[in-house]
Structure formats: C-alpha cells, structure tokens
Structure 1
C-alpha cells in the first residue's frame, strides 16, 4: 500500500469575492497512528502486526509576491520526527474501521486575524457523537 499525503492550500481568502494572494503562513501539526494488519479472508479476523505512530509538524512562511520557487520558506522544524514503531501493538479502535476516515473528516477553516472563523469546506461526514 502507498498512502501519500498531498495537502493543498489556497492562495486567496476563500470566503471573499476577490482572488488576491493573501496567504502569509501555514501551520500544520498532525499526529497519526497506523496499523499494519493481516486479515483472515475466511473468518475476517484482523491481526495487528505493527503499530506505528508519527507526527508531522511544520511552519512555513509565505510571500506570494516573490517569484515562483521563492515564495515559501520552511521556518520550523527543519528535521521531522521519525515514525515510531510501538513496542507493544495496540488494538485498533472499532471507530477507526468506520467512517468518517481522516480524509472525509477534514474541514477547511478560514481564521482571519480579526473576526470569527468561517467553515469554507465542511466535513464530508458529520462526526459521530
């Protein structure tokens, strides 16, 4: 399996009528737990082989007025934490096998420096309560 992470960010203010590039920085802090499993095709039993935790953090400064290839600069952290194989495998929570999955639960929010936050793109599935 190849599960690549391809985030995208809008240059303009997603809730305005204009399309001026206003992006000034990107902050991202995401943690993940991933399980490598074997599934018995006859019984549907799931056997956890490895549990891996990892975290991706970054802070990028953006200047949309600079030339292409010079607009973004990584401020921190320069080196990412390496994924950690957990010594004792953890069971997969039952809700991890149901929707919403991570991609369907993502939300795009616009948080201006002043004023209220706005949901630009809601989750594909509402969270279970």
Structure 2
C-alpha cells in the first residue's frame, strides 16, 4: 500500500474528536536549600480524544504522543565561567529534532496515559491520550568544579523548544502517521544574589508566564524524532571558563566515571560538585 493510500485508510479508521495543547498559567516556582537552587516550571499538557472505527482481525495500531527537542540553551552563570546542559546533535546541526521519548519504547513520550494500543477485531470505540511535561532541575550555588568553592551563582537561563505530535503507528507494518502537531517553548530567567540569605537569593525575571503552544499545519516527523539518541542520553554537562575555554564535558549516561573527557588542566571526577544526577529536567 502506498503512503498516500495508507493515509486515506487511516483517516477512515481514526477521527480526532478533540485535541488541545496548553501550558499552565502559573509562574515558575523557586526553592532554595543550603547548597542548591531548584526551580519547577509550569506544566505543558496535551490532550486528545480519538474515535476508532471497528478493526478487523490482525489489525493493531498504537495512538499516542511523540515529543522531540528542537532547541536547547540552558546555562548557569558564575563569575569564573558557565555550566551548561547541551545537546551536541542540535548545536552542530546534525539533527533538527532529538527524540524526547521516555526510553522504554520508542518513539513514545510515555507508555501510560501517553499512548493506547488497540487490536482487532473490535467494535467502534473512543480513546483519550494525555501527556504532560515540565522541568525541575537543581543548580549548585557554587561552581561545579573543585572543593570548598564559595557560593557565587549569578544567573540561571533556559530557552528550550519542542515539537509534539499525535501519532498513529501501524504495529504490523511499522508505518507512522501524524494526526496533529504542536510546538511549545519554555523560557526561564532567574537572577541570583548569593550575598543574600538562603530563601532570599533568587528572583524570577520576565517572562513570568510562558507562551501558549501553537498548532502546526505541517505534520511531518523527522526520523531523528523517532529513534535514539533521546534527549536524556544526548545531553552533556559542560563547564567553560569566563573566556570560553572548555574545561570538561560529561555525558549523562552511562555513569560519570566511565564517560568523562577532561582536558589536561581539568579537575578529577571526584572534584566535580555537580554530579550528573542533577539532570536538566
């Protein structure tokens, strides 16, 4: 069956009754502890209800949400340099979108409310598919290298964009087709003054509220949004001095001890104050 005929067949079997995407109208929340700053962003939420026509024996389809990262700029500023989370595939232009699958089963964002599998034979039915996403990373007050460093964090900046698709996958043929597509963006700016007491160091700057997602006409999914590496595996934690000299670059997986690449003047792994358990999410 050609791609066009497959699309026509799917349009008869699956009808989107309702689909929406939004970001909660709340401010990012900031929490301060003795050693770290943690912020919790408002949730992105996607919701769809799909009507499925009766399926024949042997027909198996999965309907669900697929998400990919298209832009990621996330850095923490100190007087002596910056720490950052980076996805090299995006930075160097090798990928336009990096999968944000949960890693349990590609290409799905999740395997609970985020997807539904239906098997024939079955009668007509409606299914609802939900997903939500937000960030809750931890940032060290002190620079992430060396020991006994003073608290000098000045700024936390994050600008990250995503594409999200409502997708049907034919589990027999492997064909994937999108029914809806959205993009959304999270922008976080936090000013920090470490001369203040814990609990009074941080201030959320504009934008206080996030823009709402946009629905897209173009539904095509880049191949990189459907397979590894996913964002959590592709990202690296990087420290650069104030003059942009790269000091170290740490992959998130596997463990730090076996993936750290250091230049000659870099500290040992044991001296990293910012272990990879502090993920950008």
Corresponding position of 1:104: 233
TM-score scaled by length of structure 1: 0.78
Corresponding position of 1:84: 214
Partner Cα distance (1:64, 1:8) in 2: 16
Q: Say whether residues 1:69 and 2:199 are aligned partners.
A: yes
RMSD, aligned CA: 2.3
Partner Cα distance (1:77, 1:6) in 2: 17
Q: Say whether residues 1:34 and 2:167 are aligned partners.
A: no
Which of residues 17, 23, 36 in structure 1 aligns to 2:147? Answer: 17
Higher relative strand content:
2
Shift, 1:54, TM fit: 1.1
Corresponding position of 1:53: 183
TM-score scaled by length of structure 2: 0.39
Cα separation, partners in 2 of 1:42 and 1:3, compared to 1, 3 Å: farther
For structure 2, list consecutive stretches of 5 or more residues without a partner in the other structure: 1-113, 115-131, 255-281
Write out per-residue CA displacement over residues 100-124 of structure 1, whole angstroms, 9 at most, x where no aligned residue.
1112111222233346133342354
Write out per-residue CA displacement over residues 47-80 of structure 1, whole angstroms, 9 at most, x where no aligned residue.
2121111111122111234333322111222222
- Return structure 1 stretches of 4+ with deviation > 4 angstroms: none
Higher relative helix content:
2
Bigger RCO of structures 1 and 2 (CA < 8 A, at least 6 apart):
2
User: Paired residues, what number?
Assistant: 124
Partner Cα distance (1:44, 1:3) in 2: 26
**Structure with max Cα Rg:** 2
Partner Cα distance (1:56, 1:91) in 2: 22
Matches within 5 A, 1:117-128: 117-122=246-251, 124=253
For structure 1, list consecutive stretches of 5 or more residues without a partner in the other structure: none
Cα separation, partners in 2 of 1:36 and 1:19, compared to 1, 3 Å: farther
Secondary structure in 2 aligned to 1:5? coil
